[in-house]
Amino acid sequence: MDPARTEPLYRQIFDQVVGRIQSGAFPPGFRLPASRTLAEDLHTHRNTIVRAFEELADAGFVVSTVGRGTFVADELPSIGAFDPPSRTKLPWSSLVSRTSGAEPLGRLDRLSRPPLGKDAVNLSRMQPSDDLLPHELLRRCLDHVLQTRGGGALGYAPREGLLRLRMLIVEELARIGVPARAEDVLITTGSQQALDLIARSLIDPGDAMLVEESTYNGAINLLAAAGAKVVGVPSDEEGPDLAALEHPARSDAKGFYLMPNCGNPTGSCMPAARRERLVAWSHRAGVPLIEDDYGADLNLDGDSPPPALRALSSDVIYVGTFSKKLIPALRVGFMVCPEALQSRLVPLKHAMDLGTSVLLQYALCEFISRGYLTAHLRRTVVEYRRRRDALVEVLDRHLLDAVSWKPPARGVLLWLTLPEWMDPVKVHRQCEIEGVLVTPGVLYSATGLNRRGLRLTYCAEPLDRVAEGALRLCRAIDRVAEGSDRNDRVAVARAVEVI
């Protein structure tokens, strides 16, 4: 048998191209045929051609430029030094899905820098500080579950979640005015999985999904990964612009994701009248509303928010979590949804993870039943109020007048609106230099445009650290403003010279 015919096809193509390069038939700078064209000519799969081209590039025989093509390298490797490429490498660039490269998924990486020193104040992390995590109370609950249930707490959970936990959640929801039955509740591995389930159950690639123009980046990422066309709806401090929703194209959307009580990143709260009109639009347009109430119970000034969207319509999909008000590591969330959708979601969730940890569900049941959650929330809300007030006091005294903001009434977020001439990413970078972490608005943009603002959190650091971080932030903004002033003066001076 001819040894050449036993070589994989990609290797045969590699050898032929190398031979032509070395013979001068393909001189330096010669453009090779496109991979698709060559695949059609050779009646083979494009992956085979892509793999051959990748091997050629790794060996130094060709260079590839996105949008231009593949060319013979100007400087070729010497024949004696040539080391044949590994034959086990796969053409990953042509194997990965298009959605894995969706633009929103890469925004955080583009902003990431090496970790700052230990002294850096974190006003970007959205989880309770260690001193607010009730580890001892959780340990008691876990010990009790293991002692009383033994191996029964170490198996798989029911697909919908433990009935006892679902009933306790129904009681908790009734306390904040959200109607639900135990059979309407589905336990999920955090609210993030609930959003993933909604995306998987509603979206086919290319379907439109509405979000507020600035919203939770985790939701934007999930929708983009599901292949949705994410459409940002213009919004003001009271929520989405209802006039913009009347555009005919909005009625083709598969859903509208919202955070009515304490929007992320702005911390805004939608008033009752806007909620009622939004629900009316939903029924008229046939577009379901997804209500993310991640900050439930975190009412810092004692006033409850207006009625939930779910209280206004049983067609609203309500999503909740214990991450922000209790312990992120529990990874226990839930959703309340219409019966017609529930029948689709349960088998879909079971296919994804075979059930949320039953051990943690039992422990959470114990935590709630013992009254620990109520006591924990009472303490946490007081501490969050103190931290918010400390942040507000520093901003009041030291923040540049051109920056606008409002003290939040609930949740753990404060939004700074920067002037048009100030780049949030520049402020973000300067904050890193000053030793404080904040988040620029571009991460929360449905369109990827550079939203003129910064999101601050006051949950992840103790009181004195929050105040110190606020001082560093004000200093960073002042320095960016000074730099902008200098740039403006230089531009004016140059203009005068030209005139």
For the segment 188-203, what is each residue's pLDDT rounded down to a tens digit?
Answer: 999 999 999 999 999 9
Residue 306 has pLDDT above 50, yes or no: yes
- Quote the CA–CA distance of 258 and 274 in Å, as a whole number: 13
**Lowest mean pLDDT: which of 106-110, 173-177, 269-273?**
106-110
Average pLDDT over residues 159-174: 96
Residue 490 has pLDDT above 60, yes or no: no
The residue type found at 388 is R
- Using CB atoms within 10 A of its CB, is residue 486 exposed (0-12), middle (13-18) or buried (19+)? exposed
Give the list of residues 6+ apart from residue 37 with CB closer than 8 angstroms, or none. none
Residue 99 has pLDDT above 90, yes or no: no
Q: What is the CATH number of domain 133-370?
A: 3.40.640.10
pLDDT confidence band for 179 (50 / 70 / 90): very high
Q: What is the mean pLDDT of the chain?
A: 88
CATH architecture observed for domain 106-126+375-498: Alpha-Beta Complex (3.90)
pLDDT of residue 82: 54
**Lowest mean pLDDT: which of 51-65, 101-115, 267-281, 457-471?**
101-115
- How crowded is residue 336: how many other Cβ atoms within 10 Å of its Cβ? 27
pLDDT of residue 76: 83
Of the candidates 212, 305, 226, 311, the residue with the CA atom closest to the CA atom of residue 264? 212
pLDDT of residue 187: 97
Average pLDDT over residues 216-243: 92
* 324 and 298 Cβ atoms separated by less than 8 Å: yes
Of the candidates 413, 408, 410, the residue with the CA atom closest to the CA atom of residue 458? 413
Residue 2 has pLDDT above 70, yes or no: no
pLDDT of residue 264: 94
Residue 494 has pLDDT above 50, yes or no: no
What is the DSSP pairing of strand 439-440 with strand 208-212?
unpaired
pLDDT of residue 147: 96
CATH architecture observed for domain 3-92: Orthogonal Bundle (1.10)
pLDDT of residue 115: 57
Q: Where are the domains of the chain?
A: 3-92, 106-126+375-498, 133-370
pLDDT confidence band for 347 (50 / 70 / 90): very high
What is the DSSP pairing of strand 229-233 with strand 413-417?
unpaired
